[in-house]
Amino acid sequence: MQETLDTIVDDAAKDGNAVTSRAQFETFKAGLMGPRGSFTQQRKQMGRIPREERPAFGKKLNEIKNRLERILTETLEKIEKLESASRLGLSIDPTLPSPEEQPGSLHLLTQVREELCAIFRQIGFVVAEGPEVETEFFCFDALNTPPDHPARDLQDTYYLPEKIHFANIPQREEERYVLRSHTSTVQIRTMLDKPPPLRIISPGRCFRRDTPDATHSANFHQIEGLFVDKNVTVKDLKADLDYCFQSLMGKEARTRFRPHFFPYTEPSFEVDFYSGHLAKVGAEWTEIMGCGIVDPSVFEAVGYDPEVWTGYAFGLGIERIAMILYGVDDIRYFYQNDLRFLQQFS
Amino acid sequence: MKVSQQWLKRYIDLDRSRDEIEKALTLIGFEVEGVEETGLPLLERVVVGEVLTSEPHPNADRLTVCNVSVSDEEEPGTIVCGAKNYKVGDRVPVALAGAVLPGNFKIKKSKLRGVVSDGMMCSARELQLGDDHQGLLILADRPSIGTPINDVFPERDTVFDIEVTPNRPDCLSHVGVARELAARFGLSLEYPQVKSRPLDSTPNRLPALLEKVEVEVPDKCPHYRAYCIRGVQIGPSPQWMQRLLKAAGLRPINNVVDATNFVLLELGQPLHAFDAAKIRGGKLIIRQARQGEEIVTLDDRRRILTPPSTVIADAERSLVIAGVMGSIDAEVDEGTTDLVLEAAYFRPSNIRWTSRRLNLVSDSSYRFSRGVDAKGTEYAALRAIDIIQEIAGGRLEGPPFVVGEPPLVEREIEIGPRFICSRLGFDVDNSSINEVFDALGLYARKQERADGSIYWTVGIPSYRLDLERPIDLVEEILRIYGTDKIPTARVVVPGLLQKDDPVDVCKRKSAEYLSGRHFNECINYSMRSAEEVDQWYSHAAASSLQLANPLASDQSHLRPSLVPGLLDSLRFNRNRGNAPLRLFETGNVWRERDGRLWELFSVAFLMVQESASSQWIERQSPDFFQVAGVVRNLLRLADADADETPFAPIESEDSWQEGHAAAISDYTLGFQAKAGMINLAMLKKWDLEGTVWAGLVYLRPAFLRNPVSRQGFRSISQYPPVSKDLALVVNEDILAEQVKVALRKAAQDASTGAFDVESISVFDVYRGKGLPEGKKSLAFKLVFRSMDRTLTDIEVNRAFEAIQRSIVAEGYTLRE
């Protein structure tokens, strides 16, 4: 009897090895534990053996049952392993390229614009926007540009035909539309729209009637800044621009103010920077931007009281900054959109 | 403007290095665009010599031994020489023992390979006369032997090419620039003294050179002076003057013309000398040019004039385009003996207009256009007369003809230290302020108010047209005091209640979203060609998007869409062997609708299928639904509420492939989106193979700027959903959305109010076996859910059956 039970276990261990599918397993299990299974048959013997042997037999049965169940569990685990192996297939070659490998990218000009905007946001500026098609009033008159100033020349500024009207670009009177030659227009629109104080930057596309070459482009991008409050001074302007260039180029960056002339600021300056670590241009003072204290006549044109409010304004070219920061030596790269250029900076 | 250091030295003791002067000019607002060194430094013991003989050096192949004569009296010396470019008889510069050449190069008598050399024959570079070091500097003019070399070459000069900003016409002159440098360096400025006293000159018995001067246009010529000079002798001007004129970039002509040019560059006042004999009818008339009037200007070009240009005419013809250029008819030439000298003040705007119309900028028009010193005419005229008499002889005759008065330009500005500090942000002490005023020749008087505070009354000289308001003086103070003294300060940021413009926010979010989805951002020009706008958009719109003055024919129109630029980028890349798959751009476009033009913010992108061989496993190729999904996300980023708005097919738009493109909304309402396949015929025009998918949104800035209200919380059901599937057989041309709308209505009709259909969505589209030709099956999933309990099968089944009955009643067929 005992031998029979042990034989069942030995056979089960052997048969279990041959089981490779769930169907086989079910048959295998039924052959042991099912109503006609070999183990079930043995258990039915309990009634036939002498009473005094029953406890020992019961004990033996239990032991055998546990051993059989362990075999069944192991067999099932083996089958599950086989099943998931066939579901997963071969192991991967992790060195194969991902088909999604082509990286997306922000254009270098967008990156530089955002870097500059982030720098100025940190000192309380917000971004203001305005139309690219502008009118002579916003582009010139309000910025104190005399009627026969060369900047208004057909040679320099793109004009739209007379009698054209844009539904969502308001004119002052019947003045002509132009493609804005700077983003100071946004400052004028903002000042006409909102009372002081203000602290805005206006990044955006500008247009000049230039024949493209390595440093000129008929489309280009600027960031102009305007801060209007009580007691805004030259010292503030210098402090804020120093902060900007040190953020952009490192702590060793220095700026220098050279007196200059712009119709909309007084005093006006051109700003040179110096930064030793920029190998190409850092060794000497390099002209980078224009700035100044807002001319009182500009405030008068937008209805701000120049006795009460003062302000500073500045403007810089995004292409120029990008060229300096990244060593790009031809402005035309920015508008070619060669994928190798676009992805270089991703 | 070109400024000569030698010339400046006539007015200030400018004993400074080139670098010091360059820096000073730069820091007071005159950017130095170039510096040129001319002439010869002062060199002792360098003289003209002649090569008498030349023999090979006995001990060195490359050297020769020359006998050189450096004096008529002394014996020739021996000089060992390495150059090859001379021949016997040439005259060359010779540095004798004891000479010190530039670079502290001391010349000594020395032995060279055994032969004693008494000195050195020099190349151009050794004398700092140029870069030529190929051989000796051969003196082709053969100056006399022994002449000191400084007598042969002009003296050393440094010429600074400076940018003079338009507000500073007073610095278009050497005296003006000298005044600025004097202020910067703390030097005293000596103005040229004039000797001529026109009123003292005695009348004579000869017939007058000029009888009358009439000004017909006093608004354009408020002040005119004419001086008569008799008996000049025309010839070349002296060397010193020719040198200075050349240094400043002018070509010497003759002594009289050079004298007027000299004064122009010295004082900034343009003058004009007429040959008195060529003035017909004895009078000068300053009048408006006649329509079509012709004149041949001194540059030998025929010019056709129109009003309102001003001319100086005699009784018969015009002789000068006023303030711009003279004609050859009254030119001073070798035969001239008597002169009429004009010194006038012309209004800038009129000269500017004429100069621009004729596209003719002269030294004279450049200065008049920007504004000359209205009070400076007499001084300049007398200065020129002094010089003419000195270098060309002649005698001033009679009092000048003077018409009109110089306009009143002097003014006084009051300014106090508090104002100055309020604009600068730091204190400048009063004595420094005083010094600046004095140095610039501003007549400042210190005053005291009743409260004891001080201020200055500053008289502005007539040549400083730029100083009108106190703020203008603040600039002067800072300029001369020094911008390098602006103190370093910390950033002070007052908090202001303001936000980024939503257009910028949308631009930024879109770019970040797309670049995160493997798109590469491009930037293209806003201007496109007429042909493209015509074909891509519409012929009618093309005419309204045209620029008035395009520079290039392929950039003549404003872009109505970003897509053509992206197609250009795609083609450009493919031609270069790059294979972009996803490109995008953000930017403004201009579109026309019913005769109205709109500027819109747009985001657009392209997706193309990669070539089959480029990847080791296949990737999903782009289709309408991917593009539409990206477009919907862009709308969400713009807070455009369009999740429930279906795409509608785009019909008859040339740029999109009909049946494979669709749009949402209309930009005149705020926003619009399009997605689909680029028209295949259009792609052919771009020479692009395969298919190209594109998506875009147009956004009106005003729409983006509409304040978005904060979305309130809506409670969500805590109970499980029950879903039911339903398939309907419809005609092939029926849109899923149409059916969905019908189902939603049926669901509403069937609703008992106890619970709702939470969502209806298409999950399968089937065509083919089991369905008739021209029919398709659309399978929908309907999800039921209650807010307050778990739904029972019975009530859901009841509702579902009601919906089925209702949809069948609408004419739909259930698929069995």
DSSP three-state, residue B294: strand
Query: Are A266 and A258 in contact, with CB atoms under 8 Å apart?
Result: no
The model's confidence at residue A150, banded by pLDDT at 50, 70 and 90, is confident
Q: Is A243 on the interface with B (CB under 8 A)?
A: yes
> Could you tell me the two tokens for B263?
């004064």
Q: Which residue of A has its CA nearest to B23?
A: A258
pLDDT confidence band for A277 (50 / 70 / 90): low
List of domains in chain B: 2-39+158-185 (3.30.56.10), 46-153 (2.40.50.140), 198-403 (3.50.40.10), 411-484 (3.30.56.10), 502-705 (3.30.930.10), 722-814 (3.30.70.380)
Q: Say if residue A170's pLDDT is above 70.
A: yes
Residues A241-250 pLDDT 10s: 999 999 998 8
pLDDT of residue A101: 65
Residue pair A316/A119 in contact (Cβ under 8 Å)? The answer is no
Whether the pLDDT of residue A280 is over 70: the answer is no
How many A-B residue pairs are in contact by the CB < 8 A criterion?
238
Most A-contacting residue of B440, B484, B486 (CB-CB within 10 A), to test interface:
B486
| pLDDT at site B156 | 83
Beta strands in B767-811 (DSSP E): 775-785
Tokens read off for B780: 């929908």
Q: Do A129 and B701 touch (CB under 8 A)?
A: yes
User: In this complex, do B496 and A218 lie within 8 Å of one another by their Cβ atoms?
Assistant: no
DSSP string covering B164-210, please? Answer: PPTT-GGGSSHHHHHHHHHHHHT----PPP----GGGSPP-SSPPS-
Tokens of B264: 């122009």
Residue in chain B nearest A124 by alpha carbon: B493
Instruction: Confirm or reject contact between A111 and chain B (CB < 8 A).
Output: no
Q: Determine the Cα–Cα distance for residues A305 and A313; give it in Å rounded to an integer.
A: 17
Within 13 A of B313's CA, how many CA atoms are on the CB side? 20
Residues above pLDDT 90, as percent of chain A: 53
- The verdict on a CB contact (< 8 Å) between B527 and A218 is yes
CATH class of A108-344: alpha beta
- Sorted by where each begins, the domain ranges of chain A are 2-88, 108-344
The reply to whether residue A168 touches residue B521, judged by beta carbons under 8 angstroms, is no
For residue A151, pLDDT beyond 80? no
Question: Inter-chain contact B582–A104, Cβ cutoff 8 Å?
Answer: yes
The verdict on a CB contact (< 8 Å) between A257 and B486 is yes
Nearest to B147 by CA among B93, B67, B76: B93
Query: Which of A17, A2, A144, A127 shows the shortest CA–CA distance to A79?
Result: A17
Mean pLDDT of chain A, nearest integer: 89
d(CA B623, CA B221): 74
At A22-47, the pLDDT tens digits run 888 888 888 888 888 888 888 887 78
Q: For B109-113, which contacts have Cβ atoms below 8 Å and span 24 or more sequence positions?
A: B112/B57, B112/B60, B112/B63, B112/B80, B113/B57, B113/B59, B113/B60, B113/B63, B113/B80
Q: Which pLDDT does position B524 carry in this prediction?
A: 97
* B605: closest CA of chain A, how far (Å): 12
Question: Which position has the token pair 């089958």?
Answer: A79
Closest CA to B531 of B653, B651, B685: B685
* Alpha carbon of residue B558 to chain centroid: 22
pLDDT at B62: 85
Average pLDDT over residues A198-202: 96
> Does the beta-carbon distance from A168 to B483 stay under 8 Å?
no
In chain B, residues with a C-beta closer than 8 Å to the C-beta of A154 are: 548-549
Rounded to whole angstroms, how far apart are CA atoms A58 and A71?
A: 20
A163, A254, A339, A343, best to mutate vs chain B, most B CBs in 10 Å: A339
Interface residue A260 vs chain B (CB under 8 A) = yes
Answer for the pair B235, B392: CB distance below 8 angstroms, yes or no.
yes
Residue A20 or A120, more confident: A120
User: Which of A116, A135, A223, A235 would best serve as a mutation to test chain B binding (most B beta carbons within 10 A)?
Assistant: A235
Give the type of residue at B330.
A
Would you tell me which residues 54-73 of chain A have a C-beta closer than 8 angstroms to some C-beta of chain B? none
Within 13 Å of residue B793, how many CA atoms lie on the same side as its CB? 0
Cross-chain residue pair A129–B573, CB shorter than 8 Å: no
Q: What is the pLDDT of residue B45?
A: 87
Measured distance CA(A124)–CA(A245) in Å, rounded? 16
Q: In whole angstroms, what is the distance from residue B348 CA to residue B221 CA? A: 10
Of A114, A129, A179, the CB nearest to B503: A129
CA distance A178 to chain B (A): 9
Between A108 and B238, name the one with better pLDDT. Answer: A108
Helix or strand run (H / E) with residue B345: strand B339-345
Residues B483, A243: C-beta atoms closer than 8 Å: no
Interface mutation vs chain A, best among B469, B473, B597, B617, most A CBs within 10 Å: B597
H helix or E strand, kind and range, residue A189: helix A184-193
> How far apart (Å, rounded) are the C-alpha atoms in residues A121 and A109?
18
CA A65 vs. chain centroid, Å, equals 64
Residue of A nearest to B527 (CA): A219
**pLDDT-flagged residues of chain B (< 50):** none
Give the nearest chain B residue to A149 (CA atoms).
B352
Nearest Cβ partner for B511 among A106, A123, A129: A106
Q: Are B177 and B30 in contact (CB under 8 A)?
A: yes
Token pair of B431 as six digits: 């004595």
Which residue reads 């230290």 in tokens? B417
